[in-house]
């Protein structure tokens, strides 16, 4: 039905008002960026120097919208040659402080500077010896005063017409992160060739290109959506669940060593709702026993063609390939790995496997790598705290 003249007039007025608000939003945020640029002082240059000289990594943290901004800042640092990663404050308070060392710099974002989850990290970070750079809108805040360096992200007002939604403030914080990363890039004389080494093959997000000889930088924040979709974790055995070594007795008996941390991680992952599978090219009774003891639902031994085994597994489970993750270490694993939503590799994997992996574990095969992946999936799916709760309750009762 055609619109009446009155309806047409209303529609045109609404479109005009929409464009006016959009232009006002962009104009205001641009003005706030100009204001922050004019206020930059020695604190900013000190922050750049400290990051450029950092022997460790830049650990970015923040709650809510600040956390989302922080994830992008960490990604920008990685892309421009500065090792960095984002950790949620809640995860830090539940054990992930162990990821931070004395050589690291913590970049903490909080608009108010009073986020309790972030403030709770200050004392333990200081005990660890890590330096803290804070980005807040309040130079008199608790976080600003506790930090080694404070960078102001104060704005006159938000662009939101209600004055409520973080808009101009998040834009300013994000731009400050970009400015830090690019100034560090400049100080380190980071080149286009180095950029190409990190991006040319796109091993974290692309497939089907020529493999890189450089292992991809672990970046679990880049695969959060994929992690949240995982319903089945498929494991190779030799080199993943073990260190890859094969010990044979005089009687021809094969012996393998598994890591206890991996076993518990597998049980916890299953309890959180993610099924487990093993696809291995070898046949071993000890692997069968390990599978039974850790709750593995799907077990394929002697699978010389792992892609065929994977296809049979998909048919049996009723899952889609993007709901599966495969953890491997050698080229025989690749055909199946490349069909899955996420391809995990251990750092001692073959170069070709490393080049096509979405994520490379920090721990080696047989030394807790499987546990690392299990916890990564549980955290992404919001199950980690629930699975850890019984142990924490028991700890409190024993005290």
What the chain holds in terms of domains, given with CATH numbers, is 30-199 (3.40.50.10490), 220-390 (3.40.50.1000)
Q: Which tokens go with 388?
A: 């850890």
20 exposed, middle or buried (CB, 10 Å; 0-12, 13-18, 19+)? exposed
Pair of tokens at residue 145: 């005063």
Q: How many beta carbons lie within 10 A of that of residue 325, not counting itself?
A: 27
Rounded to a whole number of angstroms, the CA Rg of the chain reads 25
- DSSP-derived letter for residue 189 is T
Per-residue pLDDT of the chain (399 residues; tens, 9 = 90+): 555 665 565 667 688 889 999 999 999 999 999 999 999 999 999 999 999 999 888 999 999 999 999 999 998 998 888 888 898 999 888 888 888 888 899 999 999 999 999 999 999 999 999 999 999 999 999 999 999 999 999 999 998 889 889 999 999 999 999 999 999 998 888 777 676 666 544 443 344 344 444 443 344 556 777 888 999 999 999 999 998 877 766 666 777 889 999 999 999 999 999 999 999 998 888 889 998 999 898 999 999 899 999 999 999 999 999 999 999 999 999 999 989 999 999 998 999 999 888 889 989 999 999 999 999 999 988 898 888 888 876 545 555
- Percent composition of the chain: helix, strand, coil (DSSP 3-state, to 5): 50, 15, 35
CA-based nearest residue to 82, from 113, 108, 56, 103? 56
What is the Cα–Cα distance from 195 to 138, expressed in whole angstroms?
35
pLDDT of residue 139: 94
pLDDT at residue 206 in the model: 43
Q: Compute the C-alpha angle 334/339/344, nearest 5°.
A: 55
- Predicted confidence at residue 389, as pLDDT, reads 86
What stretch of H or E contains 133?
strand 131-136
- pTM tops 0.85: no
- Number of alpha helices (DSSP H) and beta strands (DSSP E) in the chain: 16, 13
H helical segments located in 152-259: 168-187, 192-199, 224-229
Going from the C-alpha of 263 to that of each of 3, 275, 313, 337, 367, the distances in angstroms are 66, 14, 22, 22, 11
Q: Tell me, what's the pLDDT at 201?
A: 46
Which helix (DSSP H) or strand (DSSP E) does residue 84 occupy?
strand 84-86
Place of tokens 């931070």: 100
Give φ, ψ of 61 to 5 degrees: -145, 155
CA separation for the pair 143, 33 (Å, rounded) = 22
Residue 37's pLDDT is 94
What's the length of the chain?
399
Q: Which of 342, 370, 366, 376 lies closest to 356, judged by CA?
A: 342
């Amino acid at each position: 039905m055609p619109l009446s003249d009155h309806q047409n007039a209303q529609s045109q007025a609404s479109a005009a008002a929409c464009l006016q608000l959009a232009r006002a939003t962009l104009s205001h945020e641009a003005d706030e960026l100009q204001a922050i640029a004019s206020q930059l002082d020695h604190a900013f240059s000190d922050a750049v120097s400290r990051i450029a000289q950092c022997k460790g990594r830049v650990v970015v943290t923040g709650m809510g919208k600040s956390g989302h901004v922080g994830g992008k800042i960490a990604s920008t640092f990685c892309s421009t040659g500065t090792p960095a990663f984002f950790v949620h404050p809640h995860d830090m308070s539940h054990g992930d402080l162990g990821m931070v060392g004395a050589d690291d710099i913590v970049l903490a974002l909080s608009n108010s500077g009073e986020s309790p989850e972030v403030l709770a990290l200050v004392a333990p970070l200081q005990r660890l010896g890590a330096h803290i750079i804070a980005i807040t809108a309040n130079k008199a805040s608790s976080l600003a005063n506790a930090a080694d360096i404070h960078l102001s992200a104060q704005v006159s007002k938000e662009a939101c017409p209600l004055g409520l939604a973080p808009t101009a403030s998040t834009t300013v914080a994000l731009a400050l992160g970009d400015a830090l990363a690019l100034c560090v890039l400049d100080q380190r004389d980071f080149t286009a060739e180095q950029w190409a080494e990190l991006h040319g093959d796109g091993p974290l997000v692309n497939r089907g290109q020529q493999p890189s000889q450089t292992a991809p930088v672990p970046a679990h924040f880049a695969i959060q959506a994929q992690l949240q979709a995982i319903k089945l974790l498929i494991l190779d055995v030799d080199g993943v669940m073990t260190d890859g070594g094969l010990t044979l007795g005089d009687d021809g008996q094969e012996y393998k060593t598994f890591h206890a941390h991996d076993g518990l991680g597998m049980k916890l992952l299953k309890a959180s709702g993610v099924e487990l599978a093993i696809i291995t090219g070898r046949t071993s009774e000890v692997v069968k026993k390990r599978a039974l003891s850790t709750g593995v639902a799907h077990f394929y031994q002697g699978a010389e063609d792992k892609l065929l085994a994977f296809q049979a597994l998909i048919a049996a489970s009723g899952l889609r390939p993007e709901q599966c993750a495969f953890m491997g270490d050698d080229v025989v694993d690749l055909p199946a790995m490349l069909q899955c939503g996420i391809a995990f590799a251990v750092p001692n994997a073959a170069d070709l496997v490393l080049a096509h992996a979405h994520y490379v574990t920090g721990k080696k095969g047989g030394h807790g790598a499987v546990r690392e992946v299990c916890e990564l999936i549980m955290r992404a799916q919001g199950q980690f705290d629930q699975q850890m709760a019984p142990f924490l309750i028991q700890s409190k009762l024993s005290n």
